[in-house]
Amino acid sequence: MADNIQAFFNLFSARLLEIEGRQNYLIQKVGELHEHVTRLYALRCDYNDIPPAQGHLLLQQQACLKLAIMVDADLRAAGINYFLSAGNLLGACRTGEFVPWDDDFDFGLLRDDFNRAVELLTEKYNHGLFHTTWAKSGGIFKVLFLNKVCLDLFPWDIHSKRLETPEEIADFKSDYKNAMNEARRLEQEKSTYSDYYSITKDMILHNEQPDMENGDIFEGVDWQLFPDRILARYHDAIWRHEYILPFGEIEFCGHKFMAPNNPDAWLTTRYGDWRRLRPEFSRHMILNFSYEELETVKEFIDGKIQ
């Protein structure tokens, strides 16, 4: 009997591994297809030809902007710095408005400011139709309205030095890859580390203090989205200190937000030729509002819900 049970268990385990392998292979091929579609679309389209958002997506953008303005005021009042990033910074530099398909808001914060912001916003935005949470995987902090209007806060870290030589950059990328893999083990409760920054401090900074004056800046290993984990995509780009600090400001949708010191350098590091169209919309799942939610969203945009 015991032999039969063990045989069944072995067969079942082998079958699970086979299914997982096929699933991962399919996800990899979907990722490759996405890259091909991105390149083909970029060759055929000009983002200036794409009409601005309409309908529910337009309401989503307006509500995201309202939420971002509220959080911007709270962070400034508390002396917490951040910078507009990702698709919002892209839109600000291209047209001053949302990228037509964008549906959320992104703030980047250096580690100490990130920790302070999480504490402040957790206290302030957990009432009524507002709440805060963490991403399903990873250390991305979210401020939400109606559980659909979203502002994401991403942690960034400063290195203990400026990375000058090809060898130093290669070492950093190797350290970052190892740290990212350890972060995945942390999420699986298989790591000896207790939090993301402990991993960064040990495996990337090698227990040296960040150089707040000159150290290069990089994305926290907290970023652990599902496709990044499955496809082993590492966010190991290096932003020169002066690309981000000291912070500047940029106008976006008629409001001034804090921004990297050199938006062009920031975007070029992230996207390459950021003036060329890239169909980022293919990465988004647009959430529609129910009929009952539409009036609530409009009231929020008009400032009737605080």
Give the pLDDT confidence of 134-168 residue by residue, as tens digits: 987 678 999 999 999 999 999 999 999 999 998 99
What mean pLDDT comes out for the span 167-195?
93
> Rounded to whole angstroms, how far apart are CA atoms 94 and 127?
36
Task: Determine the distance from the C-alpha atom of residue 223 to the mean position of all C-alpha atoms in its chain, rounded to a whole number.
Answer: 7
The percent of residues above 90 in pLDDT, for the chain, comes to 59
> Rounded to whole angstroms, how far apart are CA atoms 222 and 220?
5
The percent of residues above 70 in pLDDT, for the chain, comes to 77
For residue 85, is pLDDT > 80?
A: yes
173 and 218 in contact (C-beta within 8 Å)? Answer: no
Q: Are strands 149-158 and 105-110 parallel, antiparallel or unpaired?
A: parallel
Give which of 153, 161, 2 is closest to 80, Cα–Cα: 153
Tell me what pLDDT residue 187 has. 84
Q: At a CB cut-off of 8 Å and minimum separation 6, what does 41 contact?
A: 277, 278, 279
Residues facing residue 176 across a β-bridge = none
- Mapped onto helix, strand or coil, the DSSP state of residue 260 is coil
Q: Is the previous residue joined to 246 through a cis bond, with omega within 30 degrees of 0?
A: yes
136 and 145 in contact (C-beta within 8 Å)? Answer: no
Who has greater pLDDT, 32 or 56?
Answer: 56
Task: Tokens for 180, please give them.
Answer: 């990212």
Element (H, E) at 95: none
- For the chain, give the mean pLDDT: 86
For residue 20, is pLDDT > 80?
A: no
Tell me what pLDDT residue 7 has. 63
**Which amino acid would we find at residue 222?**
D
> Rounded to whole angstroms, how far apart are CA atoms 238 and 224?
18
What mean pLDDT comes out for the span 60-68?
97
CA-angle at 285, arms to 25 and 61, nearest 5°: 150
Tell me what pLDDT residue 144 has. 97
Task: Tokens for 233, please give them.
Answer: 């995509």
Region of residue 303 (phi > 0: left; psi between -120 and 50: alpha; otherwise: beta): left
Q: At a CB cut-off of 8 Å and minimum separation 6, what does 18 contact?
A: none
- Mapped onto helix, strand or coil, the DSSP state of residue 127 is strand
Instruction: Lowest mean pLDDT of 72-81, 101-110, 132-141, 187-196, name the range.
Output: 132-141
What mean pLDDT comes out for the span 239-261?
97
